[in-house]
Amino acid sequence: MKRSSPLLAFLRFLERHVSLTVLLVVFLGAIAASKPHPVTGTLTFLRAENLANLARQVSEMGILAVGMTGVILTAGIDLSVGSVLCLSSMTAAMALHPAYFGGHWAGAPAALLALLAGTLAGLANGLIIAFWRIPAFVMTLAMMSIARGLPRYLASNQSISIDGLSPLIDYLGEGTIPGTGIKIVVVIFLLSALSMGFLLGWTRTGRHIYAVGGNEEGARFAGLPTRRILVLVYTLMGFFAGLAGLAHAAQNGQGAPTDGETYELIAIAAVVIGGTSLFGGKGSILGTIVGTLIIGILNNIMGLRGISKEMQLILLGIIIVAAVKLPDLLHWFVFRLEKREKSP
Amino acid sequence: MEGISKAFPGVQALEGVSFRLRAGEIHALVGENGAGKSTLMKILGGIHRPDEGIIRIEGKACSFQGPRDAEAAGVALIHQELSLFPELSVKDNLFLGREITGPLGILDKGAMRKKAEALLARLDLDKEISPETRLGDLSLGRRQEIEILKALGLEARILVMDEPTSALSDTEVERLFAVVRRLADQGVGVIYISHRLDEIFRLCRRVTVLRDGKLAGSGPMEEMDRAGIIRMMVGREAGEYFRPTPHRPGREVLRVEGACLEGGTGGRRRLVEDVSFSVRAGEVVGLAGLLGAGRTELLEGIFGARGGRFRGKVFLEGKPVTISSPREARARGLALVTEDRARLGIFPDFDVTRNLTISSLSRFVRGGILRKSLERRAALDAVEDWNLRVPSPETSITALSGGNQQKIILARWMLTEPKVIFLDEPTRGIDVGAKAEIYNRIDHLARRGLGIVVVSSELPELLALADRVLVLCEGRLTAAFDREEASPEKVMAAAAPGGLEMET
């Protein structure tokens, strides 16, 4: 057999590891685009404090994307996560604040209540999608409205400040791993990713999730508990949205009615850029981490370069389309090259 | 059509078949399921292209690149499932895809309405049906007539009707026959595919019989009798088939009493009606019947896949059980290898290993963790036990032949250690070599004490495999034969609607 040209071999490699490739390109692009620090001369993007900041910035999104991976693997979608995040952050804030829920709650029960709120919203999504056969798109769209409206109604559409109300929550928001600049929220993100990665890759339930996503009717005929699996992925999604909401409230020192708006879109984008198929059955947590980092780095470098928030949104949209189309383009290039090299 | 041949991967669907249709003739095309009728008609309709042979229409050789070419040449196919849109009006259905448009591409509704009325008048329907009627409001028989009208609107000279009466009531059938005769009088050549021999004798002037993709016989109806046609349909050398020595069945493992299954919207139609049977350990029970006789529905109903629409008592090893989902069925020792392997059997994103272990993952869990090394070992064992031709356990299942896929699904169910296994068309879409292996396997499993129920539309296969043959017709159990008394003719007679009597 003839050896293929180095270009073809290289393209084949890119095709196989496409999201990693994008991450690499974005990372190098960010380095190239960053300015040297006026005093020390190190590139602003690569400075330790910026990298720590980047990790903090991606954490909330990453937690959502971890939950979203399970949902999308079953060929589902959850549009309610931004609202559920808000439900959770506002629940935590109201529990901590003396004016709501019968007075000032301690940090731990307030945090648990917020997680419970998120989990219950997810459970409701899952039960209705699995048992009433309402399409996930419709059900979670409805939940998007409910979970946004409920905290607004309870808090009369006010932001609730929780600065200094609980040492635990303050620690969640501002604390770091001793001796490093790594924030607690980053640790929460990594633990979320690890546990979801374990569930998906190393347990029976995880394999069932892939099976349901790959062929739901086939999974039913193979004797799998398909409905239970659907309920589980949406409930987990709700839990992770609750966790992200708690982190959000802790980091911002408040719960606000606008918390988490449009987060659902970015979480979905991170999962899809990470190579998980919207048709279900294919994808991984590793891909989702890569996708989250790609979006995070893009946002970070655009922020550093002083690109306006509005322009960031436009560019991000374009880049998402490009990143998802890239595998097709690579595939096409490889195909063309193979053909040309076969016929001399 | 002269000397038509067509091969699909692993199957020679047609081999040198010639077929001649005269203008104004109603010509019956019969054969067992899988005999090649549909393939032949799809070639005529431009859906498939023949590997060999030519089609001449009014003496002119045609080569169809697609259905549109066939339509233009005057060939219209009316499928078993109608290709109409219930939400659209009669008029819109008649002109779908070739709407009459005025300037600027705006629909000329008036012109379409007039032409629709003219078409309706050709079958004297203009008094009863307005072009604006929503199609979904019409009965199935009427819809069929609209479908015929659509073909007439295309100026069709050849009309192919595939099992047009399968869903019609007796009066609707009479009306349809009148319509078909009228078309023939107008010079349209009609090819009529049906399993119902009594209909064919009443309606058709000539008959052509296909068997195993070859021409088994053809001639004017007057020279034929039922027994002769049936013989042509099933007459195959028994020697081609593996015939195991009879099994020695043990105690009863499965008994089903009064099985009923409601189907359709609102459960109006009974797909299975009052079927009772039992299976003993080490016994192979064959379920025979025509398409739509309720065989698949019966098995899926027992298996819990049809949920609450299944009624009837199920006893496993003498104990009454209720099974409301395939998961419960699996847990109780039932297994079902479905007929539709691509849709319900395989997980296309999974490799061989994962497809194999998906129904019995708890066997591979240690300390809460799914052990991939154990899974891989099971896969390697299966490759050897089942003689799988796969490069490695990590090969994607979609890269394998139908036979290897089927063996993996069988192996998957054997890992669940079932007591009874249902095999629905286990050799469909599988090449000859793999078929023989599957037969051996079924025999082997029976000898190991499994109760087996096999559904097959290939009668000789079923007769070779089964210790006992049950025949379903239109959802009812119409006959049961022991191995010695079962013959293709008897089974076919019991399977055909209208109680086909043998004239021997």
A205 touches chain B (CB under 8 A): no
Q: What is the CATH number of the domain that holds A64?
A: 1.10.3470
If pLDDT is split at 50, 70 and 90, which confidence band does A343 have? low
Q: What is the per-residue pLDDT across B282-318, written as a single tens digit (0 to 9) for each?
A: 999 999 988 778 899 999 999 999 988 899 999 999 9
* B contacts of A211 (beta carbons < 8 Å): 347, 350, 358
If pLDDT is split at 50, 70 and 90, which confidence band does A225 have? very high
* B contacts of A195 (beta carbons < 8 Å): none
Instruction: Please determine, for residue B389, whether its predicted confidence score (pLDDT) is greater than 80.
Output: yes
Give the one of B349, B359, B370 whose C-beta lies nearest to A222's C-beta: B359
Instruction: Please determine, for residue B196, whether its predicted confidence score (pLDDT) is greater than 80.
Output: no
If pLDDT is split at 50, 70 and 90, which confidence band does B10 have? low
Look at A221 and B345 and tell me if their CB atoms are within 8 Å: yes
* B contacts of A208 (beta carbons < 8 Å): 358, 361
Instruction: Please determine, for residue B237, whether its predicted confidence score (pLDDT) is greater than 50.
Output: no
* B contacts of A218 (beta carbons < 8 Å): 343-347
Give the residue with greater pLDDT, A129 vs A36.
A129
Check if the beta carbon of residue B55 is closer than 8 Å to that of residue B87: no
Q: Is residue A84 part of a domain?
A: yes
Q: Is residue A8 part of a domain?
A: no
Look at B358 and A211 and tell me if their CB atoms are within 8 Å: yes
Predicted confidence at residue A2, as pLDDT, reads 53
If pLDDT is split at 50, 70 and 90, which confidence band does A11 have? confident
- CA atoms of B100 and B107, how far apart (whole Å): 6
Instruction: Please determine, for residue A158, whether its predicted confidence score (pLDDT) is greater than 90.
Output: yes
Look at B365 and A204 and tell me if their CB atoms are within 8 Å: yes
Helix pair A136-154, A81-96: axis angle to 10 deg: 20
Give the residue with greater pLDDT, A97 vs B460.
A97
Lowest pLDDT segment from A1-15, A329-343, B103-117, B393-407: A1-15
Interface test with B, best of A204, A205, A229, A230 (most B CBs within 10 A): A204
Strand order in the sheet with B189-193: B75-78, B158-162, B189-193, B26-30, B206-211, B214-220
B344 touches chain A (CB under 8 A): yes
Chain B nearest-CA distance from A207, in A, is 8
Cα→Cα distances B264→B208, B258, B272, B378, Å: 33, 20, 12, 41
Instruction: Please determine, for residue B503, whether its predicted confidence score (pLDDT) is greater than 50.
Output: no
Q: Is residue A262 part of a domain?
A: yes
Q: What is the per-residue pLDDT across B141-193, written as a single tens digit (0 to 9) for each?
A: 788 888 888 887 777 889 898 877 766 767 778 888 888 898 888 888 999 98
Chain A nearest-CA distance from B248, in A, is 30
Chain B nearest-CA distance from A52, in A, is 34
Look at B327 and A202 and tell me if their CB atoms are within 8 Å: no
| Residue type, position B193, single letter | I
A133 touches chain B (CB under 8 A): no
- CA atoms of B351 and B336, how far apart (whole Å): 21
Query: From the DSSP assignment, how many helices (H) and strands (E) are in chain B?
Result: 16, 22
Q: Is residue A170 part of a domain?
A: yes
SS (H, E, C) A21-59: HHHHHHHHHHHHHCCECCCCCCEHHHCHHHHHHHHHHHH
Q: What is the per-residue pLDDT across B349-384, written as a single tens digit (0 to 9) for each?
A: 999 999 999 999 999 999 999 999 999 999 999 999
Instruction: Please determine, for residue A150, whether its predicted confidence score (pLDDT) is greater than 70.
Output: yes
Q: What is the per-residue pLDDT across A251-290, written as a single tens digit (0 to 9) for each?
A: 999 999 999 998 999 999 999 988 888 899 999 999 999 9
In three-state secondary structure terms, A1 is coil
| Inter-chain Cβ pairs, chain A and chain B, closer than 8 A | 72
Predicted confidence at residue B502, as pLDDT, reads 39
A204 touches chain B (CB under 8 A): yes
Q: Is residue A181 part of a domain?
A: yes
A223 touches chain B (CB under 8 A): yes
Range of the domain at A271: 19-31+45-342
Predicted confidence at residue A344, as pLDDT, reads 54
Give residues 252 to 311 of A whose Cβ lies within 8 Å of B.
281-282
Q: Is residue A12 part of a domain?
A: no
Mean pLDDT for B340-350 is 92
- CA atoms of B193 and B207, how far apart (whole Å): 10
Mean pLDDT for B131-140 is 82
Lowest pLDDT segment from B141-155, B324-338, B460-474: B141-155
Chain B nearest-CA distance from A24, in A, is 27
* A contacts of B348 (beta carbons < 8 Å): 214-215, 281
* A contacts of B346 (beta carbons < 8 Å): 215, 218
A131 touches chain B (CB under 8 A): no
Instruction: Report the domain count for chain A.
Output: 1
Chain A nearest-CA distance from B121, in A, is 44
Instruction: Please determine, for residue B129, whether its predicted confidence score (pLDDT) is greater than 80.
Output: yes
Lowest pLDDT segment from A18-32, B13-27, B419-433: A18-32
If pLDDT is split at 50, 70 and 90, which confidence band does B241 have? low
Instruction: Please determine, for residue B501, whether its predicted confidence score (pLDDT) is greater than 50.
Output: no
Look at A220 and B348 and tell me if their CB atoms are within 8 Å: no
Give the one of B327, B347, B370 whose C-beta lies nearest to A218's C-beta: B347
Check if the beta carbon of residue B60 is closer than 8 Å to that of residue B86: no
Q: Is residue A211 part of a domain?
A: yes
A211 touches chain B (CB under 8 A): yes
If pLDDT is split at 50, 70 and 90, which confidence band does A240 have? very high
Look at B359 and A223 and tell me if their CB atoms are within 8 Å: yes
Check if the beta carbon of residue A76 is closer than 8 Å to that of residue A234: yes
Domains of chain B: residue spans and CATH: 2-238 (3.40.50.300), 251-495 (3.40.50.300)
Instruction: Please determine, for residue B504, whether its predicted confidence score (pLDDT) is greater than 50.
Output: no
Burial A69-85 (b: 16+ CB within 10 A, else e): bbbbbbbbbbbbbbbbb
Check if the beta carbon of residue B29 is closer than 8 Å to that of residue B193: yes
Mean pLDDT for A68-90 is 97
Give the one of B330, B336, B361 whose C-beta lies nearest to A207's C-beta: B361
Predicted confidence at residue A177, as pLDDT, reads 86
Mean pLDDT for A95-100 is 90
Give the one of A204, A215, A218 whose C-beta lies nearest to B361's C-beta: A204
- CA atoms of B214 and B207, how far apart (whole Å): 14
B347 touches chain A (CB under 8 A): yes
If pLDDT is split at 50, 70 and 90, which confidence band does B9 have? low
Q: What is the per-residue pLDDT across A48-64, written as a single tens digit (0 to 9) for each?
A: 888 888 888 899 999 99
Lowest pLDDT segment from A84-88, A202-206, B219-223: B219-223
Instruction: Please determine, for residue B239, whether its predicted confidence score (pLDDT) is greater than 70.
Output: no
For residue B313, how many C-alpha atoms fall within 13 Å in the half-sphere facing its CB? Answer: 10
Q: What is the per-residue pLDDT across B245-285, written as a single tens digit (0 to 9) for each?
A: 777 888 999 999 999 998 765 556 688 999 999 999 999 99
A208 touches chain B (CB under 8 A): yes
Predicted confidence at residue B244, as pLDDT, reads 67
Q: Compute the mean pLDDT over every residue in chain B, rounded to the nearest whole number.
A: 85
Lowest pLDDT segment from A238-247, A263-272, B413-422: A263-272
Q: Is residue A99 part of a domain?
A: yes
Q: Compute the mean pLDDT over every residue in chain A, rounded to the nearest whole number.
A: 90
In percent, how much of chain B has pLDDT > 90?
34
Give the residue with greater pLDDT, B54 vs B373.
B373
Predicted confidence at residue B81, as pLDDT, reads 61
Mean pLDDT for B332-343 is 93
Instruction: Please determine, for residue A109, whether its predicted confidence score (pLDDT) is greater than 90.
Output: yes
Instruction: Please determine, for residue B73, whether its predicted confidence score (pLDDT) is greater than 90.
Output: no
Determine the residue of chain B that is closest to A224 in CA distance: B327
SS (H, E, C) B321-350: ECCCCHHHHHHCCEEEECCCHHHHHCCCCC
B367 touches chain A (CB under 8 A): no
Query: From the DSSP assignment, how many helices (H) and strands (E) are in chain A?
Result: 14, 2
Place of tokens 């648990």: A112
Cβ-based neighbours of A124, under 8 Å, separated by 6 or more: A143
Of the candidates B346, B347, B255, B268, the one whose C-alpha atom is nearest the C-alpha of residue B302 is B255
Give residues 35 to 74 of A whose Cβ lies within 8 Å of B.
none
CA B311 to chain centre: 24
In percent, how much of chain B has pLDDT > 70?
92
